[in-house]
Amino acid sequence: MSYSNQAAAYRHREVAAATPGRLLLMVYDHILANLARASVAHNNNLVEARVEAVAKARDGICELLATLDMDKGGDIASQLNSLYSFVLSELVDAGLKFEEKKVGRMAAMIRELRDAFAVIVESSAKTSAA
């Protein structure tokens, strides 16, 4: 089995075994990694790689939007919907005209959300283990 096949199999097992909270963190990590790739590609004038990385980050945001439960989530889900929609529109613009500062602000917002959810996931895991 080749390394890429082994890596794909490992990732598949990781996703299949992940809790919903861990899956959420994985989506945030995916977005952040692709925004970092987009910045590196931009700084190296690799337009195709930049566009691909921004598209993958947008896909992650779309996943977050699609999985919001507006009925159970109430005001928080509504606010996250607005925030994710804003980030998505900014990333659509970044695909057309990349602005390092703007993408950096989007990454900072996503990082802050990711870190907040990580605390919740960790706290929840400790509570359920007790």
Q: How many CB atoms lie within 10 A of CB 51?
A: 17
In whole angstroms, what separates CA 29 from the centre of its chain?
A: 5
List of residues 6+ apart from 102 with CB closer than 8 A:
90, 93, 94
Q: What is the pLDDT of residue 94?
A: 87
The DSSP secondary structure of 6-43, one letter per residue, reads HHHHHHHHHHHH--HHHHHHHHHHHHHHHHHHHHHHHH
List of residues 6+ apart from 85 with CB closer than 8 A:
65
Residue appearing with tokens 């990454």 = 107
| Residue extents of the structural domains in the chain | 20-129
Q: Which CATH superfamily is domain 20-129 in?
A: Flagellar protein FliS (1.20.120.340)
Give 57-83 pLDDT, tens digit per residue: 999 999 999 999 999 999 999 999 999
pTM comes to: 0.86
